[in-house]
Copies of this chain bind each other. A is one copy, B any other.
Amino acid sequence: MSQTVTRALRLLAELGEGERSLDQLAQALGVHKTTVLRLLQSLEEGRFVHRDANHRYHLGAGLFALSSLALEQRGIRRTAAPHLAELNAATGQTVHLAAYEGGEAVYIDKYDSRQPVRMYSRIGLRASLHCTAVAKVLLADLPPAERRKVAAAIEYTPHTANTIAGPRQLLAELEQVAAQGWAQDHAEHEPFINCVAAPVRDVSGRVVAAASVSVPDVVLPYEQVLELLPQLLATARAISADAGAPV
């Protein structure tokens, strides 16, 4: 494990919070500013950070370029994009695309709601495995053994009164999700937000992503969110079809 790289990443994380001066960064890492300076110089060379006229450091364009390049390369994201945009336009609601990788569910695309109320979610962020609709969809396709292993390892942090509290309950729900072909999050993560999610499959027939619609209570009550299901399922099927999934 490389101390230097770890420190460089901590620098980036710190800059993710906002602009920083050299001294601030040195203090945050607890190292001498000379050290920070040299790390920053390398990061700057790679355009990962950038310093403005006032010697404040910011995250740089190289980071954005790399990130968007990598996201674009994800086949499923590209094939999903037009369909998700359409769903977003048709419903006006927040639409997410998430994938399961390395034991976590990660948002890989997001289309914001037209409503002024925005959701706290972001591309790259992890979706809780036990209380989000996308995670349920993704987990439901794992082989049973793996599913049990994951369910056992989850820390069942309760977020609301509806949050699933343990592996038994989760596994039962996953069973149902697998059977019905979609999942919901009925105020399990955020008190006043409901979501529905549907699986996206690729050529292999495996679930490679989950598409979801999230709606705050104030915009649509729970029952009306369920009414979005047909549109969502159609979208997910269209993406799957484009990805070459077997019917």
Indicate whether A101 reaches chain B with its CB closer than 8 angstroms.
yes
Indicate whether A227 reaches chain B with its CB closer than 8 angstroms.
no
**A2 to B43 Cα, complex, angstroms:** 9
Indicate whether A54 reaches chain B with its CB closer than 8 angstroms.
no
Chain B's closest residue to A122 (CB) is B68
Indicate whether A41 reaches chain B with its CB closer than 8 angstroms.
yes
Indicate whether A112 reaches chain B with its CB closer than 8 angstroms.
yes
Contacts of A66 in B (CB 8 A): 12-13, 16, 59, 63, 67, 124
Chain B's closest residue to A48 (CB) is B9
Indicate whether A65 reaches chain B with its CB closer than 8 angstroms.
yes
Copies of the polypeptide in the assembly: 2
**A13 to B47 Cα, complex, angstroms:** 11
Contacts of A81 in B (CB 8 A): 112
- Of residues 115 through 167 on chain A, the ones whose CB sits less than 8 Å from some CB of chain B are 122-126
Contacts of A65 in B (CB 8 A): 122-125
**A59 to B58 Cα, complex, angstroms:** 21
Known: A2-B41, A101-B52. A64 touches B71 (CB 8 A): yes
Instruction: Give A111 Cβ to nearest chain B Cβ, in Å.
Output: 10
Interface size class of A (residues with CB under 8 A): 35 or more
Contacts of A45 in B (CB 8 A): 1, 6, 9
Which of these binds chain B: A102-110, A202-210, A231-239? A102-110
Indicate whether A31 reaches chain B with its CB closer than 8 angstroms.
no
Contact flags (1/0) for A6-22 with B, using CB distance below 8 Å? 10110011011010000
- Of residues 192 through 247 on chain A, the ones whose CB sits less than 8 Å from some CB of chain B are none
Indicate whether A179 reaches chain B with its CB closer than 8 angstroms.
no
Q: CB distance B69 to A67 under 8 Å?
A: no
Indicate whether A73 reaches chain B with its CB closer than 8 angstroms.
yes
Q: CB distance B61 to A126 under 8 Å?
A: yes
Contacts of A48 in B (CB 8 A): 9
| 24 CB-based A-B contacts, threshold 8 Å | A2-B8, A2-B38, A5-B8, A5-B43, A5-B46, A16-B70, A50-B102, A59-B67, A59-B70, A61-B125, A61-B126, A63-B63, A63-B70, A63-B124, A64-B70, A64-B106, A64-B123, A65-B125, A66-B124, A67-B67, A67-B123, A68-B122, A72-B122, A81-B112
